[in-house]
Chain A
């Protein structure tokens, strides 16, 4: 064992495209997070939680990465009102284990529970209930933010810095703690209904018919072309009234680190066929919240399935009036690109506003799809898809993006300059350098 305090370490984002060298600063308690930003020198700092951001919002090549995942203490919890305050490193996984038996659930959750509170707020994550519940930022009461000036701020919802911090990509300061209002539940079980979609129109029809289902999402078979474009499964769910308040288990199947591109046209075609046509695919039933919200969490390191060169994720939102046409072009483009997407997801987003300045969701339809990295060809395809999105008055999700141009970002997020003004000068990310810093 050799000491390597000053030596840099190569760090990947979730997409595993290109590792970048960082000096890692571990923080196990709030006071260490505060100390880290106060001590920051010329090299910029960035917080990193569980590393589930796909592109480069959580990378800071050549700088410091403040590893906050161990600063994960509950600070206060009121189980009567469901208000919990915890350090930013607390994972949704750990929070669920504690709050579910007490009859509370996350008000908003993304498709993995391996995210931290701090990362969820910094990216203002959304979930299957976005239409009714908005983003996680809609349920945050207060934020503890440390600035490089030495201040430790207690931000309430009406503070301008609160708005900049929600969806602020970790650039306004070090998020030390978060106070969140949870959602009451009577059971850990979900009532679920899955319906077949034969074409894209079915997605719009079923979305419109699902107003009394808080959770909706659609899986699309990326290999379907022509008249069956948009074929797939529409899933909707709600928390059941009866059942035990049992939290999820710990079982995970590990993806071997030697895995070499197990996801290719053949395996995906096979998977999609069986996934869509298995007899029990459609119908009504109940299931535990874990497979409903987190189907991929049972495979640890599933991002290695795309092989050594990593993968991209495109997630965009376009306004409803442009959605049918735009989605068709995006799905056709990605199907032409040679490599099919393993996980293609569609969801209608509502107009509940987030307090966040740079929040991704807006009223319309969001599409998310993965593309294995095949080099320049894949990047050109992603650029063309970005152009289609921007032309349709849409925008891309920074937490997923690795390729969009500064122009595309600034067109989608005209408020970006306000974040740049509120950014703590000690903080920077590779993403911000790519899309904003040069234009500022």
Chain B
């Protein structure tokens, strides 16, 4: 019997690595997709040392929309059908820059929403009806309400939220499952440049622990750490006359 195949899109991201290290201990096989060959090789060697049965780098630009279908076919042909897909790539971007640079804004939306949605469709298209498949998508609390400081990133993450909701609805009762992860502030290279002190900051390892638990329990949406669920519930419900004054 061959072991589970886990495909990680954006395998050098801090959250993806923390999660993959936990899965590696179970002896799974990995396909690690990303742009930076040297780093993918480092991550692959690391995961094999930590117990993975194998880890194969797949060098590609994950936001290259035209290449998605053929990449999925390649993965199926070389490694067989995956049991788990992790969408962990993305770019935060600087809101003030994106607002003035339409091409950069398009790139941010393509990376964070369009390509992420299409990867899921492509993997589901190639899936046999009885084949179990868990799709883990890293969203963000930024997708819960449009805010002046990051609504371009937030809109893409909100789009993915609706998209994954729809897929979960469409595939209810089948062995295809979907987990949307909504981290708050996580100390990762993506957030380099923020001052990371205070109780709201979390670590990739904490997020990975929460993802693992959510997958095990069959949760559909997981806020990580948990306190972001009540925080975002309040932010979503704030009346406009209050919200418009907030500098968040």
Bound-complex Cα distance A5 to B150 (A)? 17
CA gap between A4 and B42 in the complex, in Å: 30
Complex CA gap A29/B11 in Å reads: 13
B212 at the interface (CB under 8 A from A): no
Given contacts A1-B149, A98-B49, contact A73 B193 (CB under 8 A): no
- State which residues 16-39 of B face A: CB under 8 Å: 38-39
Q: Which of A1-43 contact B (CB under 8 A)?
A: 1-5, 7, 9, 26, 28-31
Query: A49 to chain B: closest CB distance in Å?
Result: 15
Decide: A26 near B42, CB < 8 A? Known: A1-B185, A74-B49: no
**With A3-B194, A28-B189 as contacts: A70 and B45 at CB distance below 8 Å:** no
Q: How long is the Cα–Cα vector from A255 to B49 in the complex, in angstroms?
A: 34
Contact (Cβ within 8 A) B193 A74: no
Residue of A nearest to B96 (CB): A3
Tell me the residues in window 83-106 of chain A with beta carbons closer than 8 Å to chain B beta carbons: 84, 98
User: Of B39, B45, B189, which one neighbours A75 at CB under 8 angstroms?
Assistant: B45
- Chain A contributes a number of interface residues (CB within 8 A of B) equal to 20
Flag whether A77 is at the interface (Cβ < 8 A).
Answer: yes
A2 to chain B, nearest CB (A): 8
Within 8 Å CB of B45, what residues of A? Answer: 73-76
- Contacting residues of chain A (50-75) with chain B, CB-CB under 8 angstroms: 70, 73-75
Size class of the contact patch on chain B: 20 to 34
Given contacts A28-B189, A31-B39, A76-B45, contact A4 B195 (CB under 8 A): yes
**Which residues of B have CB within 8 Å of A84?**
49
Docked complex Cα distance between A77 and B46 (Å): 9
Of A7, A26, A74, A98, the contact of B192 (CB 8 Å cutoff): A26
**Inter-chain contacts of B49 with A (CB < 8 A):** 74, 76-77, 84, 98
Query: Which residue of A has the minimal Cβ distance to B195?
Result: A4
Distance (whole angstroms) from the CB of A269 to the closest CB of chain B: 34
Taking CB atoms, residues of chain B closer than 8 Å to A74 are: 45-46, 49-50
Most chain A beta-carbon neighbours within 10 Å: one of B46, B49, B189, B192: B49
Interface string of A201-232 (1 = CB under 8 A from B): 00000000000000000000000000000000
Find out whether the CB atom of A5 lies under 8 angstroms from the CB atom of B43. Answer: no
Residues of chain B within 8 A (CB-CB) of A30 are: 42
Q: Are B193 and A28 in contact (CB under 8 A)?
A: no
- A8 — nearest CB in chain B belongs to which residue? B195
Q: Counting CB contacts under 8 A, is B94 at the interface? A: yes
Shortest CB distance B47–A (Å): 9
User: Is A73 in contact with B42, judged by CB distance below 8 angstroms?
Assistant: yes
| Residue in A73, A76, A98 with the greatest tally of chain B CB atoms within 10 Å | A73
User: Which B residues lie within 8 Å of A98 (CB)?
Assistant: 49-51
Tell whether, in the assembled complex, residue B195 and residue A7 are in contact, meaning their CB atoms are under 8 Å apart: yes
Q: Within the complex, what minimum Cβ distance (angstroms) separates B143 from chain A?
A: 15
Instruction: Tell me which residues across on chain B come within 8 A of A28, comparing CB atoms.
Output: 14, 189
Looking across the interface, which residue of chain A has its beta carbon closest to that of B204? A70
Q: Are B42 and A75 in contact (CB under 8 A)?
A: yes
A31–B195 CA distance with the chains assembled, in angstroms:
23
* Chain A neighbourhood of B14, CB < 8 A: 28, 70
Among A3, A31, A75, which residue has its beta carbon within 8 angstroms of that of B193?
A: A3
Distance in Å: Cβ of B214 to nearest Cβ of chain A: 18
Which one of B12, B193, B194 has the highest number of Cβ atoms from chain A below 10 Å of its Cβ? Answer: B193
CB-nearest residue of chain A to B94? A3
Whether B43 contacts A73 by the Cβ 8 Å rule is yes
In chain B between 45 and 61, which residues have their CB closer than 8 angstroms to a CB of chain A?
A: 45-46, 49-51
Instruction: List CB contacts (< 8 Å) of A294-332 with chain B.
Output: none
State the Cβ distance, B148 to closest chain A Cβ, in Å.
12
* Cβ-closest chain B residue relative to A10: B197
A4, closest chain B residue (CB): B195
B contact set with A: CB distance below 8 Å: 12, 14, 38-39, 42-43, 45-46, 49-51, 94, 149-150, 185, 189, 192-195, 197
CB-CB nearest 5 A-B residue pairs: A74-B49, A73-B46, A5-B193, A77-B49, A74-B46
Name A residues whose Cβ lies closer than 8 Å to a Cβ of B.
1-5, 7, 9, 26, 28-31, 70, 73-77, 84, 98
26 example contacts (A-B, Cβ-Cβ < 8 A) are as follows A1-B149, A1-B194, A2-B195, A3-B94, A5-B192, A5-B193, A9-B195, A28-B189, A29-B39, A29-B42, A30-B42, A31-B38, A70-B189, A73-B42, A73-B43, A73-B45, A73-B46, A74-B46, A74-B50, A75-B42, A76-B45, A76-B49, A77-B49, A84-B49, A98-B50, A98-B51
